[in-house]
Amino acid sequence: MQGKKTGRLERMLQDAVSHFPEFQGKGIFVGYTKRYGEADSCRLLIRLNPRKLSYYVIGHELTHLVQGMKNRLGESAIPKGEVSCDIWTIARSDLFLDEPPGYLGVGRRVLLDWKAHRDRVRNLCIEAIERRNVHRHYIQWLIRELR
């Protein structure tokens, strides 16, 4: 990331990481990609594109790292997959609402007026996580609600 690091990027990374207590005391490596973002949970590495930077993308990639972490039972706290990653990222903090999620399929109307709908989308993501404890098909429920 040398040569591409800016004050804005550093500030955004610090803001985003502050919402991930899982990384307290751990070092996260940051690299460059031409894509929006990538994550390698084995190496605690995220790759970002400073030209396409948003809190959503940073949060999404950090959530992928959390997906790769195992608890005492050998299970991840967050289910694998892009849709689950979006749900947990959006639910974690309203900081990550600066751009519509890429994998939730929120619909054209919501995308066109994201600012008007983003708080409702976040509330639905939080509710979906709560429903997951008793309802296996929480993602399908969320997608129906988003439509």
Q: Digits of tens for pLDDT over the chain (147 positions)?
A: 556 678 899 999 999 999 999 999 889 999 999 888 999 988 999 999 988 899 999 999 999 999 998 766 666 789 999 999 999 999 999 999 999 998 988 766 666 788 888 999 999 999 999 999 898 899 999 999 988
- Enter the DSSP assignment of 73: T
CB atoms within 10 A of CB 62: 26
Residue 144 token pair: 């129906």
For 7-67, the fitting CATH number among 3.40.50.720, 3.30.70.980, 3.30.2010.10, 3.40.50.300 is: 3.30.2010.10
Helical H runs in 1-147? 7-17, 55-67, 82-92, 108-112, 114-132, 138-146
In angstroms, what is the C-alpha Rg of the chain? Answer: 15
CATH 3.30.2010.10 boundaries in the chain: 7-67
- Enter the DSSP assignment of 68: T
pTM of the model: 0.91
